[in-house]
Amino acid sequence: MKAAQITSFGTPDVLRVTETERPTPGAGEVLVAVEASSVNGHDTIVRAGGLKMVSGRAFPIGVGLDFAGTVVTTGAGVEGYRAGDRVWGMVHPRQRHVTAAAAEYVVVPADRIGLAPAGVSSVEAASLVVAGSTALIALRDSVRLGDGERVLVRGAAGGVGTAAVQLAHAMGGHVTALARDRHAAALRELGADEVLDYGTTTSAELGPFDVIVDTVGSELHCYRGRLAKGGRMVTVGLSAPALAAIAASAIHGSRRIRTFSANPGSAVLDGLAGFVTSGALRPTVHSVYPLTDIAAAHQAFEQGGVMGKHMLAVSR
């Protein structure tokens, strides 16, 4: 099978699509024929060598977290899935993979997939796995958004941001999106009540907000200061300065900066599918690359400035 792999740590040109052996599912696992995957920040950090404690230093290293496709076969003990089922899911981000989701086939534990929502293509479904589950966990589980609360989504045009805008709206929040001005109309269509240009709006001009969802990971202490009494802030944009800000914020109790590692299982994916099926969550795809052009997809991701996800389409 064809699989994208990291051949050394570095820029996108270290990525190669090579022929390798198709994996075989063990007990409790499912073999999926991948039809689409996406580019996520985790992928680019691993490729650049920023997560060596997870990826290790032995090459090649598989790349790609999320996928949508069709079940080929199941291992012993798997119930609820059969060959031909359309599924979506995610490989474990904290485990080393020689081949991962950016490949023609992937093996994952059955509790890391769910039935893909009807009415969306595989590319569209794959675009929502990491982004949508991250936004859902942030809003529902981390900050527990309540009906009528004021929400700021920082970095609202990215994959997680567009999902957070839609989910916050669906949960009854009054949503302010902070993004490039050229994305304002599209973000309003997704459910934002207000859109502010991040290039001209300073943190001092904002707030107060009951909830802040940050996808950027910088100036966190400034944005935390825009919380109302009892407000909650969560960030998914992790970096060394962000981790320092998170640690320092612990003295603020409930108004500390929260974070988490999105690692969705079947229950989260099934909940996410409900939002898709109801029409409350729509995919936002910026571009689609063939798997063989994964280096170009990574390069485009790192250039930023777009709305939605960069996707990989897998053909055989």
Backbone phi and psi for residue 101, each to the nearest 5 degrees, phi listed first: -75, -25
CATH architecture entry for 2-120+283-313:
Alpha-Beta Complex (3.90)
Instruction: Name the DSSP letter for residue 256.
Output: S
CA 117/CA 125 separation, integer angstroms: 7
pLDDT of 242 higher than 70: no
CA angle 15, 17, 23 (to 5 degrees): 115
CA 4/CA 101 separation, integer angstroms: 9
User: What is the average pLDDT across 140-149?
Assistant: 96
Beta-bridge mates of residue 209: 227
pLDDT of 271 higher than 60: yes
31-89 per-position pLDDT tens digit: 999 999 999 999 999 999 988 888 888 999 999 999 999 999 999 999 999 999 999 99
The pLDDT assigned to 165 comes to: 98
User: What is the average pLDDT across 254-262?
Assistant: 75
Burial tier of 16 (Cβ tally within 10 Å: 0-12, 13-18, 19+): middle
The pLDDT assigned to 307 comes to: 96
CATH number at 129-258: 3.40.50.720
CA 229/CA 245 separation, integer angstroms: 19
* Domain layout of the chain by residue ranges: 2-120+283-313, 129-258
pLDDT of 259 higher than 90: no
CA 169/CA 82 separation, integer angstroms: 35
Query: Which pLDDT band, with edges at 50, 70 and 90, does 306 fall under?
Result: very high
Determine contact, residues 150/173, Cβ cutoff 8 Å.
yes
Query: Which pLDDT band, with edges at 50, 70 and 90, does 316 fall under?
Result: confident
